[in-house]
Amino acid sequence: MENALGRLLPEFLSGYGNVAPFTGTFELPPVFERAAVRVTPVPPSGEKRLPDIETALVECGVHHGATLSFHHHLRNGDRVLNMVLEVAAKMGLRGLRIAASSIFPVHSPLVEHFASGVVESVCTSYVAGPVADAISSGKLRNIAILQTHGGRARAIEAGELLIDIAFIAAPTADDYGNINGVDGPSACGTLGYAQVDAECARRVVAVTDNLVPYPACPAEITQERVDYVVAVPSIGDASQIVSGTTRVTQDPVGLGIASTASKVLDAGGLIKDGFSFQTGAGGVSLAVAKYVRELMKDRKIQGSFAAGGVTQQIVSMLEEGLFRSIFDVQCFDLDAVRSYRENPRHQRMSASLYANPCNRGPVVNRLDSMILGAAEIDLDFNVNVSTGSDGSLLGGSGGHSDTAAGARIALVTTRLKAGAYPKIVEKVTTVTTPGASIDVVVTEAGVAVNPGRPDLTTRLVTAGLNVVPIQRLYDLANDGAESRIRRKDHGGGSDRRVVAVQEYRDGTVIDVLRQV
Amino acid sequence: MENALGRLLPEFLSGYGNVAPFTGTFELPPVFERAAVRVTPVPPSGEKRLPDIETALVECGVHHGATLSFHHHLRNGDRVLNMVLEVAAKMGLRGLRIAASSIFPVHSPLVEHFASGVVESVCTSYVAGPVADAISSGKLRNIAILQTHGGRARAIEAGELLIDIAFIAAPTADDYGNINGVDGPSACGTLGYAQVDAECARRVVAVTDNLVPYPACPAEITQERVDYVVAVPSIGDASQIVSGTTRVTQDPVGLGIASTASKVLDAGGLIKDGFSFQTGAGGVSLAVAKYVRELMKDRKIQGSFAAGGVTQQIVSMLEEGLFRSIFDVQCFDLDAVRSYRENPRHQRMSASLYANPCNRGPVVNRLDSMILGAAEIDLDFNVNVSTGSDGSLLGGSGGHSDTAAGARIALVTTRLKAGAYPKIVEKVTTVTTPGASIDVVVTEAGVAVNPGRPDLTTRLVTAGLNVVPIQRLYDLANDGAESRIRRKDHGGGSDRRVVAVQEYRDGTVIDVLRQV
């Protein structure tokens, strides 16, 4: 069958089930049922400290095929996922499902667990490195499920993604399960993604390398959510947890795109008191923040909030009074960790508060503007941030689709080409985010506005911006032979095996990924 | 039938259902199911501001017999409950169930709503004033349900107490439902009791007199929990919200009891590094805090945490470094509000985190000591804080039973008599808290230790405290004719109509209250 974007999907996928096709218009259900949760009460005399991960797995009733969840605030420095899986493998467990909010190169031992059958299923919002390669090359037994950050929160709350045991990598914890991310050798800031897991999992285990006297303070995740606490020598490699080196691009082309993007937001009427803003941590995105910051300072504008994954750039804007507040689901650098620790206006948000489309209104709903990236964007404004042009997995939505759907102006910045490869394509190899939720594409050769936003076209033209049809950007990007060669790769009609589904935030399937 | 304390209970009560008798030993269920919650999603374009309470009731689908919940952080200054019920009455609603965490004299208009049939059922943890009188005299159609603070959280989470619409009296809110209690003319501090309602109710309405630009910061209850926001001129009478006048008793007898109580805690081996403590806001309880404070200062002891309902006394102890942290479910005075606003070590706790026996371990489980009051205490150490000696409702457990069950030493301070009436009785008029969870009674004439704690008897005797059998305290208290006259009043065997059930924290019925 085809979904609303014309993507060819199987009706049923073994190990996944019936495929609900993306419908094009995202209609919220009138009622969303947050599922019941089975909790194991702890009596007054109860203790939660356990000597090791194996005991925790046993006490939590782990079984073949169990779903274990992890969060990615320690990013490429995370040691907890590997630690738990190593123990699980030694225990002889098989067929586990790994529900990790993101997967990084550091998690490469998973590949071996795929081969041995210890891990049979993966559910995540972003995956890069050897694990992504293994999935693309068909080494995972079941189909990988790619979700958005908000879609993951929705699926967990709905009970669709039922977590048997959530492992919380806890930079600080006490012996009764109060947890925070602001202190300890592996401090990573807010634990926004883990919060949903802690609320909804049947069993919750805190793994910490900084066990402090009761009560840990602040308590970001509180004791009534946590079954057990295990102290280990190290949960993370501090040098890989946060970069501390994220920098505004110095490249003139990137700076030009960023400057244009800031003018688009301004022409769109957004940059005024109460303005709200989110951007990723890439060099061009940070440059957009830089230009927006200058505009705000010049005009003495105070925005309402910045959201995100938070970087030093955004922290500076808070500290300069350019925003009243930050909503932070994950700290990207040490400045963000410090600010989150010290500044009460730098607030945490759970993944659900951030982006779950089915709650009573996530923060993305209140975004004026979101600055997005793209591996590819097509003539229908569909964006691919999941795969390379050959269809191999190298990312995933993260919050891309969520913020695009929520923001008043969802703006993609991209160059026309990456090296010799065009980034503006006829049809994206994989749809991550539907074009209907993308408002503007900004390139070095002009700005294309989604035809669904004629109001915006008028504003941008009036402001003197170089507005062109997206077809024009496509033509400019596709002027070489290389691009014609590779373009034949796209299309979902292949009979290669499906290795992953890309879910939209509502759980429908927006595209599939096939074996490469 | 009789429950484990010999209290005579009906097997079935119309308007309540089957009566589950208190079993004496509180055995936790192996699994507690936190019920599913039906949430109404809010789309990106959605707005939550509504013009008035009536519109909110309509939009929330109010119906005859609906359950409306309220919280009591505004105490005797609360205007929200009356405001909502006045509108409900005008709309012609009938048979409503009011689930209020506590009810104060200011809520006297409820009595009229009982008479008119607007309100048919009440579920609360504490009730004083005209509403209590009306319940006792049989003016409420259905049986009132008295719960503990932890039992209320448990019942709500379990779906036993299903809230159709929770009204959150919000000292500060934005137009999308982020709420805090620290700012605005009706600032009351933490909103711990409201948090459970906001998490579990089908519909949640924030009623505020301090609407601030989005996002309200800090956001104690966040937008994804809130359906609608209504701005009104005033949610509370600031002079009645917090007293600011709670003072240590000056009475020599009270001071003597308090001094002895502090010695009991010390002899019990509790007053050492890591000590944790909770006390109420009464004059004798505050005096205990004063003596404990002196002991801690003298010995340079740092406790782990103080919990509660928090007063200036406890705040001072935090600020002097005598405790590392406070867990606060409700601020009792302006100093507590200020401290909670400014000091990150003064942490909020929800009613569930505080006291729900069925989660993974509430804060009461970690209490070393709890200082309790009593209207009556009997030879089995059962405590009554629900009724007067004539059986008329004048209080309820609040957190009494919860903290008694959790604390390592649950200590009741009481004089032998209140005026001419003995407070040590053969059998309490109403059992609120079972004697099995009370460890020590401290009076001006000696200290009685529960026979179930021989270890404690030994320690107290060794420390030179005047330990006596509780029978001796009873004899001393009952040396006059008045007491013999009134003692005939007790006993559950009356054939008067049952007007209320006193539930224990697990939802079993520990006693019933009859019409007076």
Q: How confident is the model over B341-368, as pLDDT tens digits?
A: 999 999 999 999 999 999 999 999 999 9
Among chain A residues, CA nearest to B341:
A344
Evaluated on CA atoms A263, A264, A267, A272, the torsion sign reads negative
Q: Is the pLDDT of residue A488 over 50?
A: no
What is residue A387's predicted lDDT score, i.e. its pLDDT? 97
What is residue B108's predicted lDDT score, i.e. its pLDDT? 98
Give me the residues paired with residue B33 across strands: A38
Question: Does residue A82 sit in the same domain as residue A167?
Answer: yes
Is the CB of A360 less than 8 angstroms away from the CB of B40?
Answer: yes
Give me the residues paired with residue B221 across strands: B179
Question: Does residue B225 sit in the same domain as residue B252?
Answer: no
d(C-alpha A96, C-alpha B294), whole Å: 56
Most confident of A26-30, A199-203, A241-245: A199-203
d(C-alpha A86, C-alpha A103), whole Å: 16
What is residue B243's predicted lDDT score, i.e. its pLDDT? 64
Tell me whether residue A27 is exposed, middle or buried, using C-beta atoms within 10 angstroms of its C-beta: 0 to 12, 13 to 18, 19 or more: exposed
With 0.90 as the threshold, say if the pTM is over it: yes
ipTM over 0.90: yes
Beta strands in B350-400 (DSSP E): 369-372, 376-378, 383-384
Task: Give the pLDDT band (50/70/90) at residue B245.
Answer: low
Of A196, A221, A240, the last residue of a domain is A240
Mean pLDDT, chain A, rounded, equals 95
Alpha-helix runs per DSSP H in B74-217: 80-90, 109-116, 130-136, 149-158, 192-200
Task: Give the pLDDT band (50/70/90) at residue A489.
Answer: very low
Task: Give the pLDDT band (50/70/90) at residue B129.
Answer: very high
Q: How confident is the model over B387-428, as pLDDT tens digits?
A: 999 999 999 999 999 999 999 999 999 999 998 899 999 999
Is B182 a domain residue?
Answer: yes
Segment holding B284, helix H or strand E:
helix B283-299
What is residue A487's predicted lDDT score, i.e. its pLDDT? 47
Among candidates A353, A359, A366 on the partner chain, residue whose Cβ is nearest the Cβ of B39: A359
Of B224, B240, B256, the last residue of a domain is B240
Ranges A194-198, B107-111, B485-489: which has the least confidence: B485-489
Question: Does residue A390 sit in the same domain as residue A418?
Answer: yes
Question: Looking up tokens 């309470």, which residue turns up?
Answer: B53
Interface of B with A in 436-495 (CB under 8 A): none
d(C-alpha B11, C-alpha B80), whole Å: 36
Q: Is the pLDDT of residue B483 over 90?
A: no
Among candidates A39, A305, A347 on the partner chain, residue whose Cβ is nearest the Cβ of B360: A39
| Contact B304/A at CB under 8 A | yes
d(C-alpha A93, C-alpha A95), whole Å: 7
Beta strands in B280-352 (DSSP E): 303-310, 323-331, 346-348
Question: Does residue A389 sit in the same domain as residue A435?
Answer: yes
CA B464 from centre of chain: 35
Is A511 a domain residue?
Answer: no
How many beta carbons lie within 10 A of that of residue A193, not counting itself?
A: 25
Question: Does residue B480 sit in the same domain as residue B347?
Answer: yes
Residues B364-387: what's their mean pLDDT? 97
Segment holding A106, helix H or strand E:
none
Is the CB of B41 less than 8 angstroms away from the CB of A359?
Answer: yes
Q: Is the pLDDT of residue A313 over 60?
A: yes
What is residue A24's predicted lDDT score, i.e. its pLDDT? 87
Is A500 a domain residue?
Answer: no
Contact residues on chain A for B33, CB-CB shorter than 8 A: 36-39
From A3, A82, A2, A40, select the one nearest A203 (Cα to Cα).
A40
Segment holding A348, helix H or strand E:
strand A346-348
Question: Does residue A209 sit in the same domain as residue A312?
Answer: no
Give me the residues paired with residue A230 across strands: A50, A207
| Contact B128/A at CB under 8 A | no
Question: Does residue A275 sit in the same domain as residue A399?
Answer: yes
Is A22 a domain residue?
Answer: no
What is residue A494's predicted lDDT score, i.e. its pLDDT? 67
Question: Does residue B150 sit in the same domain as residue B202?
Answer: yes
Is A148 a domain residue?
Answer: yes
Task: Give the pLDDT band (50/70/90) at residue B504.
Answer: very high
Task: Give the pLDDT band (50/70/90) at residue B282.
Answer: confident
Q: How confident is the model over B194-224, as pLDDT tens digits?
A: 999 999 999 999 999 999 999 999 999 999 9
Question: Does residue B148 sit in the same domain as residue B281?
Answer: no
- Long-range CB contacts (within 8 A, 24+) of B10-15: B10/B498, B10/B512, B13/B143, B13/B498, B13/B501, B14/B142, B14/B143, B15/B120, B15/B121, B15/B141, B15/B142, B15/B143
Among chain A residues, CA nearest to B220:
A347
Question: Does residue A176 sit in the same domain as residue A304?
Answer: no
Q: Tell me which residue range forms the domain holding B269.
A: 244-488
What is residue A243's predicted lDDT score, i.e. its pLDDT? 64
d(C-alpha B467, C-alpha A498), whole Å: 77
Task: Name the minimum distance, in Å, from the CA of B340 to any CA of chain A.
Answer: 12
Is B7 a domain residue?
Answer: no
Q: In this structure, are strands B165-170 and B67-70 parallel, antiparallel, or unpaired?
A: parallel
Of A199, A217, A240, the last residue of a domain is A240
Which CATH number belongs to the domain containing residue A90 in this structure?
3.40.1080.10
Residues B444-455: what's their mean pLDDT? 97
Residues A239-266: what's their mean pLDDT? 87
Residues A115-138: what's their mean pLDDT? 98
Question: Does residue B305 sit in the same domain as residue B361?
Answer: yes
Q: Is the pLDDT of residue A480 over 70?
A: no
CA B44 from centre of chain: 39
Q: Is the pLDDT of residue B485 over 70?
A: no
Evaluated on CA atoms A165, B402, B114, B233, the torsion sign reads negative
d(C-alpha B186, C-alpha B410), whole Å: 34
Is A35 a domain residue?
Answer: no
Is B397 a domain residue?
Answer: yes
Is the CB of B345 less than 8 angstroms away from the CB of A39?
Answer: no
What is residue A207's predicted lDDT score, i.e. its pLDDT? 98
| Contact A358/B at CB under 8 A | yes
How many structural domains is chain A composed of? 2
What is residue B484's predicted lDDT score, i.e. its pLDDT? 52
Please give the angle made by the CA atoms of A231, A236 and A241, to the nearest 5 degrees: 145
Give me the residues paired with residue A173 across strands: A179, A211
What is residue B281's predicted lDDT score, i.e. its pLDDT? 80
What is residue A484's predicted lDDT score, i.e. its pLDDT? 52
Question: Does residue A102 sit in the same domain as residue A223?
Answer: yes
Q: How confident is the model over A447-464, as pLDDT tens digits?
A: 999 999 999 999 999 999
